[in-house]
Amino acid sequence: MKLAFWTVTKGAGNIAKEFKEKLKEHLKDYDIDVFTLRKYDVENTIQIEDFTTNINEKFSQYDGHIFIMASGIVIRKIASLIGTKDKDPAVLLIDEGKHFVISLLSGHLGGANELAYSLANILKLVPVITTSSDVTGKIAVDTISQKLMQSLKI
């Protein structure tokens, strides 16, 4: 699985680096990149000039995106990139206080819910899952379809 951390503050950039190192110990088959703004000069990250341009270019190239920033920023920046639930990558948020990991988009088919639980366990965060089936203890139809490796018409 290919994951990208995205940050827009120096503090978040350092958190993303820390989290990447912890995740590498547990998720050995994952390829993880950390994107930070060049102006903060966070070492050992992919330093970018413009967040919007880069997320537009990279959105479909990753299986999952983990944003360490406010949800409003993320929603506004990815709105035009969102396609269909069977094709969109997982989108998660982590607050800069390192308390919560929130599954925001593609919870079932994109794997955001499962990834949120994994990140929560490894990074000692509280997972926030809002999909009805998950919070009521039921199995979603799209999850069953995915597990059976069948295509679901949406």
Task: Look at residue 28 and tell me whether its pLDDT is greater than 60.
Answer: yes
pLDDT digits (tens, 9 = 90+) for 88-137: 999 999 999 999 999 999 886 878 999 999 999 999 999 999 975 555 55
**What is the distance between the alpha carbons of residues 150 and 142, in angstroms, rounded to a whole number?**
9
Strands across the sheet containing 31-37:
46-48, 31-37, 2-7, 64-68, 90-94, 100-105, 126-128
Domains and CATH numbers, the chain: 2-152 (3.40.50.11220)
Helices (H), the chain: 10-26, 51-58, 71-78, 112-123, 132-135, 141-147
d(CA 35, CA 25): 20
Whether the predicted model's global pTM rises above the 0.85 cut: yes
